[in-house]
Amino acid sequence: MASVLTHHIEDFLTWLEVEKRYSAETIRGYRIDLIQFCLYLEANDSECLDVLDQINRGVIRGFLGHLAGELDQQPRSVARKLAALKSLFKYLHREGFVTLNIAAYVHTPKLPGVIPSYLSENQIVAVLEKLGESDSWMGKRDLAIVELFYSTGIRVSELAGLKSSDLNVKRGTVTVLGKGSKQRVVPVGQYAWEAIGIYQYATKHKFGHQDSYQPLFLGKNGSALGPNGIRLRVRKAIKAIAELKKMSPHVLRHTFATHLLNAGADLMALKDLLGHANLSTTQIYTHVQVDKMKKAFQKAHPRAGKK
């Protein structure tokens, strides 16, 4: 399916990697979404693959309709693919490959409000206690992973990229490399430090001395444990305790944020801890504050209509 458009897509993805310093996982997602657009064009309007100015709003809307209708994809997935197209066409317009950034004139589908999946305080304690029952090296590693996720709220890509040198035991912090290669320093709680220390001690006995610039979390063969491996271990740990629709490391990130807000944390401070660029992203967690207000109202107001 080589074409002018697929050639520009590869150049665009290289630009994201080199200039914007996007993660490999983000670039992989962009590639999947943009190639899906190319396949749609190949089947429905193949001339657009080589004459880019023939791609108009109707073509892009047709693609979005195909996703939502024939493929029955959810609005959030459709919106993500449109965002990839908007980024691509912004790049193509800036580089002079198209005369108009046509994707900018296509409206993003309205998304339903979604409350993030998270574990209750009792559930996360149960997950950690269950992991703590294992005396194996792998069990110690998995406990350290989940403790660190819950203690810091970092992303799976950030945890997978950690090295021992990123840990500052004296200051009680970890330095992570977030989206756009932006570094941030996040505090780490006592229980997470203890779990990491036990895991590192066990790792030294299993694999010998580890250089401080080697990956912090290892697979059973001693190589770096990647994002997919981490997802698998977290899913297994959560599934042993709770049945949720989603059981990814992002559930632990949501759990971290929800529990902090429950305890009265400031939304702006939470934004910085999570590494969000905009406060609007952090505001998905305000459902916690709304729920607390509702409970207080139902409990205290004489005409709340308590049942």
Residues 160, 247, single domain; the answer is yes
**Tens digits of per-residue pLDDT, 117-128?**
889 899 999 999
Which range has the worst mean pLDDT, 17-21, 43-47, 109-113, 254-258?
Answer: 109-113
Residues 267, 226, single domain; the answer is yes
Show the domain range for 219: 121-294
For residue 169, the domain's CATH number is: 1.10.443.10
Residues 194, 75, single domain; the answer is no
Residues 70, 127, single domain; the answer is no
Check 8, 155, 254, 259 and give the catalytic one. 155
Which range has the worst mean pLDDT, 64-73, 189-198, 259-268, 293-302?
Answer: 293-302
Confidence grade of residue 248 (pLDDT, cut at 50, 70, 90)? confident
Residues 206, 281, single domain; the answer is yes
Q: Does 237 fall in a domain? A: yes
Query: Is 72 exposed, middle or buried, given 0-12, 13-18 or 19+ CB atoms closer than 10 A?
Result: exposed
What letter does residue 278 receive in the DSSP assignment?
S
Distance between CA 86 and CA 97 in Å, rounded?
14
Check 179, 184, 206, 287 and give the catalytic one. 179
Can you give the pLDDT at residue 24?
83
Residues 129, 275, single domain; the answer is yes
Based on the residue annotation, tell me whether 231 is a catalytic residue of this protein.
no
**Tens digits of per-residue pLDDT, 138-177?**
999 999 999 999 999 999 999 999 999 999 999 999 999 9
Based on the residue annotation, tell me whether 209 is a catalytic residue of this protein.
no
How many domains, the chain?
Answer: 2
Does residue 12 have a pLDDT over 80?
yes
Return left, alpha or beta for 122; rule: phi > 0 is left, psi -120 to 50 is alpha, else beta.
Answer: alpha
Based on the residue annotation, tell me whether 292 is a catalytic residue of this protein.
no
Does residue 224 have a pLDDT over 90?
yes
Does residue 80 have a pLDDT over 60?
yes
Residues 100, 144, single domain; the answer is no
For residue 101, the domain's CATH number is: 1.10.150.130
Q: Does 113 fall in a domain? A: no
pLDDT averaged over the chain?
Answer: 88
Single-letter amino acid, residue 175: T
Distance between CA 281 and CA 64 in Å, rounded?
24
Check 141, 250, 259, 271 and give the catalytic one. 250
Based on the residue annotation, tell me whether 107 is a catalytic residue of this protein.
no
| Tokens found for residue 218 | 């290892």
Percent of the chain scoring above 90 in pLDDT: 64
- In this structure, the number of other CB atoms found within 10 A of the CB of residue 114 comes to 9
Residues 216, 255, single domain; the answer is yes
- Residues 153, 253 contacting (CB under 8 angstroms): yes
Interval 181-200 mean pLDDT: 94
| Tokens found for residue 286 | 């305000």
Based on the residue annotation, tell me whether 141 is a catalytic residue of this protein.
no
Distance between CA 123 and CA 242 in Å, rounded?
7
Of the residues 105, 133, 165, which one is the last residue of a structural domain? 105
Overall residue count recorded for the chain in this entry: 307
Residues 247, 189, single domain; the answer is yes
- Residues 258, 285 contacting (CB under 8 angstroms): yes
Can you give the pLDDT at residue 81?
92
Q: Does 208 fall in a domain? A: yes
Based on the residue annotation, tell me whether 21 is a catalytic residue of this protein.
no
Confidence grade of residue 292 (pLDDT, cut at 50, 70, 90)? low
Does residue 115 have a pLDDT over 70?
no
Can you give the pLDDT at residue 75?
82
